[in-house]
Amino acid sequence: MDAALHKLLTEVDTPTVCNAIEVAQGKRGFNAFTRQTMIASHPDARAMVGFARTARIQAVEPPTEAPEVIKARRMAYYRHMATGPRPAVAVVQDLDVPNAIGAYWGEINTNIHKSFGLAGTLTDGVMRDLGDMPDGYPVVAGSIGPSHGFVHVVDIAAPVEIFGLTVTDGDLVHADRHGALVIPPDVIPDLAGAIATLMRSERIIFDAVKGKRLSFEDFEDVWAAFEAART
């Protein structure tokens, strides 16, 4: 992914990318996206875009492994997040969902991950410290809660599932307050053009209807032009 495409993707929302992927594929049916309402730490932030750095955590029950094993895995987790291709997004599954209670994502951990150069976090788990997280590091999470519980890292770099979206370490992720998706590798070369096509076609509708009255007959003509512009 070149710098120009990365910049473009941070400037458009996830629904736009979802539609643009279908334009690039020439058909409907793209389904690599989250299925549940998610919560954004910074609702007005730009989209987070990057290659997934995955892990899985738990927090309801204390770990049963030896403390030195847990500590070593935590450091291996941070090493994984601090390395690898950039731009990158932390994608962390909470295995306690739907009963997750451990807020892994608060003021301390978000600042750590931002210092590693990550673009943000996608998780089905819990976040806290709203208002104290750093600017420029959005978290899109499953819930909000006050406690970290017994949160600990279970594994690193394995495939994860975030509300119906399977993410493999290294997948290209796009996420914002609407949720998240994985961009198929085969559409990446065509994605900028597909976004431009989509925006041109949508402008046909917006120019015709925003702040205006439109007869059905005129709408038929506008809709026909809109459909033609998308193909």
What pLDDT does 231 receive?
A: 65
Q: Residue 228: which pLDDT band, with cuts at 50, 70 and 90? A: confident
Give the Cα separation of 223 and 231 in Å (integer). 13
Tokens 């198929």 sit on residue: 184
Distance of CA 138 to the CA centre of its chain: 10
Give the list of residues 6+ apart from residue 33 with CB closer than 8 angstroms, or none: 14, 18, 164, 165, 179, 180, 181, 182
Specify the 3-state DSSP secondary structure of 78. Answer: helix
Name the token pair of 45.
């932030």
CA atoms within 13 A on the CB side of 131: 0
Nearest alpha-carbon partner for 106 in 137, 80, 84: 137
DSSP 8-state class, residue 134: P
Give the Cα separation of 3 and 59 in Å (integer). 38
Whether the predicted pLDDT of 212 surpasses 90 = no
Q: Residue 221: which pLDDT band, with cuts at 50, 70 and 90? A: very high
Q: Residue 229: which pLDDT band, with cuts at 50, 70 and 90? A: confident
Give the Cα separation of 82 and 188 in Å (integer). 25
Query: Average of pLDDT values for 1-22?
Result: 96
Give me the domains of the chain, ranges plus CATH numbers. Answer: 31-183 (3.50.30.40), 190-230 (no CATH)
